[in-house]
Chain A
Amino acid sequence: MSSLLDSRGFEIVARQDFSDVTYLLEVRHPLMAKAARAGQFVIVMLDDHGERIPLTIADFDRERGTITLVIQAVGKTTREMQDVCRVGTFLHALAGPMGEPSHIGGQHRVVCVGGGLGVAPIFPQARAYKEAGAHVTAVVGFRTKDLVFWEDKFRACCDEVIVCTDDGSVGIKGNVTEGLRQAIAAHPDVDEVVAIGPPIMMKACAETTRPHKIKTVVSLNPIMVDGTGMCGGCRVKIGDGIKFACVDGPDFDAHQVDFDDLMVRLKRFAATEKAALAKYEESCRMGREPAA
């Protein structure tokens, strides 16, 4: 319990930078490390003036009592976190694990697809499928060779790893859908595909598997405030109905998801976000301390 009552917040115990925009934070939270399962997410607040942002749990270590987040600096908050989150500093708020864990078990042969920011959160899924006895092929996509991370972690827990890069500097040249196609061609008996990444990538994966009628699961990442079902900001169209990603998901049947609706909803605050980022970067250029 003591970690919960630390008035300073949640301590960052490790950090690793994968590229100029992607970074990893390992945060101490023994209870959460114990409770977390593949497919779940957290809500983070950098400081007491910050916004609450959902981040998928990329890894958890029950022995070290930590959870790992892999973050892409795309907006003001994630950019500021990149600047100020160092080992020994604290996150103001960290709530989770949230969402229904992925339904893992009973699958025979699985392909786990991670693209861009989705590479990290697909890792605990791949590991869990392997632990549940499935044959696991990981398909991970990056822009170029220098941005590749965690290939060794995937190789350690998967039966096969297919790396894809946009420029072909390593692995297959092309999108993860190309890797997914090859994996399905090599193993026609694949009984489940899991895809995590930008909505456009998840949509492409859904279309790739639809003709094969392979069950496909995606993890959705709409805008949220509380993450507990209370605000309804994260509602997504699934089939004929509306679901809240935070408590009904975040995993959904990819063939039922209305990705176009999701993409429009993700742009809800685009103008405000752009202005906030510009203002933040301007204040950094002026040499002022980032806003406390």
Chain B
Amino acid sequence: MAKRKTIRTIPRERAEVGEQDPQVRVQNFYEVTLRFTPEQAELEASRCIECPRPACTPGCPVGVDIKGFIAKIAANDLRGAYDVITQTNLLPAVCGRVCPQENQCEGACVVGNQLAPVAIGRLERFVGDTAIAQGWSNVPYIEPNGFKVGIVGSGPAGMACAADMAKAGCDVTVFEAFHLPGGVLRYGIPDFRLPNSVVDAEIRNLEKLGVKFVCNTLVGRLFTIEQMIEEMGFHAVFVGTGAGYPSFMGIPGDSLNGVLSANELLTRCNMMQAKDEGFDTPLPIGAKVAVIGAGNTAMDAMRVCKRLGAEEVHCIYRRSRNEAPARIEEVHHAEQEGIAFHWLTAPVAILDDGKGGVRGMRCIKMELGEPDASGRRKPVTVKGSEYEFACDLVVVAIGTNANPIIGQTSKIALDKRGYIATDADLATSLAGVYAGGDIVTGAATVIKAMGAGRTAARSMKKYLGLRDTETVYADPTPPEAALFGFDPAEHNFVRVKAV
């Protein structure tokens, strides 16, 4: 056995990865961060010190065996690496791109205590992209169990839940209201961060597992959740409809024609392909754009506007850079691309140009006061610091409220903010109906939604009485203290085989 690696024996610097030059990339929608080459990936994999008790895996919402897959990359066994990841995460090409790794796996990485942490996200993406390029997919050999499962919403929560239920042998149908599946992965995240071709590839993988996608289907209105259980023969249903319903600021000028939600901008650009020649959906483009908010959605909106030809793009955020909810990499990329950041600034009013459009905004300076309920220092206004600011398009990216459709059309219990109420197992008030993702928690991240989809799948299997018969990649230590032989911690129900 090779000598154990230590912090002193590994490469000190991260393997370099290519990036499109900021001057070039603001003119296109191609991906900003390039993929590792096999050599770069192997070098970066060698930086993992293979901790006996890794901190990275518990830092991952779906518990990917990170040390395991990195060891396979280091051994130049990419297929093996893919098999390890897909035990727990069916969508490595997506998660490698969009997870906030600095707060999860990479944030927990021990190497990061002294050096830059292992670039786990980039390695995961490398494996996911390789699998897509090679046409790998992992399909279970399992007898159909006769259970029919309905999934409402084809975003990350629904996709993750669908994968687990299909692997358990259920007949899974995913319903999507839009004409294309993928949810936020398709309408929300732009191509330069997550190309739609990657979303398509991941959906094809789910179809290989037997999952059926049915688009143009607004559950609640075309048929209700109750009808799915009572009339349509679904034995269990998962609701992963996302948050929806964007918030506006409630300030004067909110409804002017030059004001729109980031959701609307991104949907027109990404899903409806308004940016591309030959597509009919119109897209509002401003010369001077102000984007309000500093989350990932705000960063996406700014960078989209820049690529659509806006001369100036400004970010207005009431706290400082340290509190910005976006991934560090997104803020960094936005800065590189020439976005002007106005930290500690809040809009007071949007100004009318007299023709229903926008001529500017009135803003006020903020300073940070005492920490609030979220633990972040609360921004308070600085008296007399109001100023006017010229712009012709305002994009609002300050979060979302609960989408009301499922609540309007079903007896399902909601919490006081209008989100679906669940217990720790993600069971709702309706028997056999589970829910997870943004429609339960409010806006969060792709990987958290996927984690919720998997938690719900575990609960649904329990509800349906499905038990694992075989375990993937035989764990040398059999589960202890399993209640009636059922181990709630086990996260895979079938053996997977290569095709």
Which residues of A line the B interface, CB within 8 A?
1, 4-5, 10, 31-32, 35, 40, 45, 49-52, 76-77, 92-100, 225-233, 235, 237, 242, 244, 247-248, 261, 264-265, 267-269, 272-273, 276, 291
Are A264 and B356 in contact, CB atoms less than 8 angstroms apart? yes
Are A229 and B405 in contact, CB atoms less than 8 angstroms apart? yes
Minimum CB–CB distance from B273 to chain A (whole Å) comes to 8
> For chains A and B in complex, what number of residue pairs have CB atoms within 8 angstroms?
129
Are A98 and B218 in contact, CB atoms less than 8 angstroms apart? yes
Are A273 and B282 in contact, CB atoms less than 8 angstroms apart? yes
Q: Given A98-B221, A232-B246: A93 and B280 within 8 A (CB)?
A: no
Q: Specify which chain A residues have a CB less than 8 angstroms from the CB of B212 in the assembled complex.
A: 5
Minimum CB–CB distance from A73 to chain B (whole Å) comes to 14
Any chain A CB within 8 A of the CB of B268? yes
Q: Given A49-B279, A229-B404, A272-B282: A235 and B255 within 8 A (CB)?
A: yes
Q: Taking each of A1, A10, A49, A99, which has the highest tally of chain B beta carbons within 10 Å of its own beta carbon?
A: A49
A264 to B259, CA, bound (A): 13
| Pick from B214, B215, B223, B246: contact of A230, CB under 8 Å | B246
Q: Specify which chain A residues have a CB less than 8 angstroms from the CB of B280 in the assembled complex.
A: 49-51, 76-77, 276
Are A264 and B260 in contact, CB atoms less than 8 angstroms apart? no
Any chain A CB within 8 A of the CB of B179? yes
Q: Specify which chain B residues have a CB less than 8 angstroms from the CB of A267 in the assembled complex.
A: 257, 356
Are B272 and A31 in contact, CB atoms less than 8 angstroms apart? no
In the A-B complex, list the 3 residue pairs whose CB atoms are closest, starting with the nearest.
Answer: A93-B179, A231-B264, A264-B356
Q: Specify which chain B residues have a CB less than 8 angstroms from the CB of A228 in the assembled complex.
A: 177, 218, 244, 403, 405
Any chain A CB within 8 A of the CB of B422? no
Q: Specify which chain A residues have a CB less than 8 angstroms from the CB of B30 in the assembled complex.
A: none
Look across to chain B and name the residue whose beta carbon is closest to the beta carbon of A91. Answer: B216
| Pick from A50, A94, A248, A268: contact of B257, CB under 8 Å | A268
Look across to chain B and name the residue whose beta carbon is closest to the beta carbon of A236. Answer: B255
Q: Specify which chain A residues have a CB less than 8 angstroms from the CB of B222 in the assembled complex.
A: 31-32, 35, 96-97
**Interface of chain B: mostly helix, strand, loop or mixed:** loop
Look across to chain A and name the residue whose beta carbon is closest to the beta carbon of B268. Answer: A225
Q: Taking each of B246, B254, B264, which has the highest tally of chain A beta carbons within 10 Å of its own beta carbon?
A: B264
Look across to chain B and name the residue whose beta carbon is closest to the beta carbon of A258. Answer: B255
Any chain A CB within 8 A of the CB of B281? yes
Interface string of B266-310 (1 = CB under 8 A from A): 011000110000111110100000000000000000000000000
A32 to B177, CA, bound (A): 13
Q: Specify which chain B residues have a CB less than 8 angstroms from the CB of A272 in the assembled complex.
A: 282
Q: Specify which chain A residues have a CB less than 8 angstroms from the CB of B403 in the assembled complex.
A: 228-230, 247
Minimum CB–CB distance from A95 to chain B (whole Å) comes to 5
Q: List 26 A-B contacts (CB under 8 A).
A: A4-B216, A5-B214, A10-B216, A49-B279, A51-B280, A51-B281, A52-B272, A93-B179, A93-B216, A95-B179, A95-B216, A99-B221, A225-B268, A225-B281, A228-B177, A229-B405, A230-B244, A231-B267, A232-B246, A232-B263, A232-B264, A233-B260, A235-B248, A248-B404, A265-B255, A273-B282
A48 to B261, CA, bound (A): 24
Are B216 and A51 in contact, CB atoms less than 8 angstroms apart? no
Interface string of B175-187 (1 = CB under 8 A from A): 0011100000001
Q: Taking each of B261, B273, B281, B404, which has the highest tally of chain A beta carbons within 10 Å of its own beta carbon?
A: B281
Any chain A CB within 8 A of the CB of B473? no
Are A96 and B218 in contact, CB atoms less than 8 angstroms apart? yes
Are A225 and B267 in contact, CB atoms less than 8 angstroms apart? yes
Look across to chain A and name the residue whose beta carbon is closest to the beta carbon of B184. Answer: A230
Minimum CB–CB distance from B342 to chain A (whole Å) comes to 23
Q: Specify which chain A residues have a CB less than 8 angstroms from the CB of B215 in the assembled complex.
A: 93
Look across to chain B and name the residue whose beta carbon is closest to the beta carbon of A92. Answer: B179
Q: Taking each of A5, A227, A242, A268, which has the highest tally of chain B beta carbons within 10 Å of its own beta carbon?
A: A268
Q: Specify which chain A residues have a CB less than 8 angstroms from the CB of B223 in the assembled complex.
A: 31, 35
Q: Specify which chain A residues have a CB less than 8 angstroms from the CB of B134 in the assembled complex.
A: none
Q: Specify which chain A residues have a CB less than 8 angstroms from the CB of B260 in the assembled complex.
A: 231-233
Any chain A CB within 8 A of the CB of B408? yes
A152 to B191, CA, bound (A): 53
A226 to B245, CA, bound (A): 11
Q: Given A94-B216, A225-B267: A231 and B246 within 8 A (CB)?
A: yes
Look across to chain A and name the residue whose beta carbon is closest to the beta carbon of B355. Answer: A264
Q: Tell me which residues from 103 to 128 in chain B have a Cβ below 8 Å from any Cβ of chain A.
A: none
A268 to B286, CA, bound (A): 13
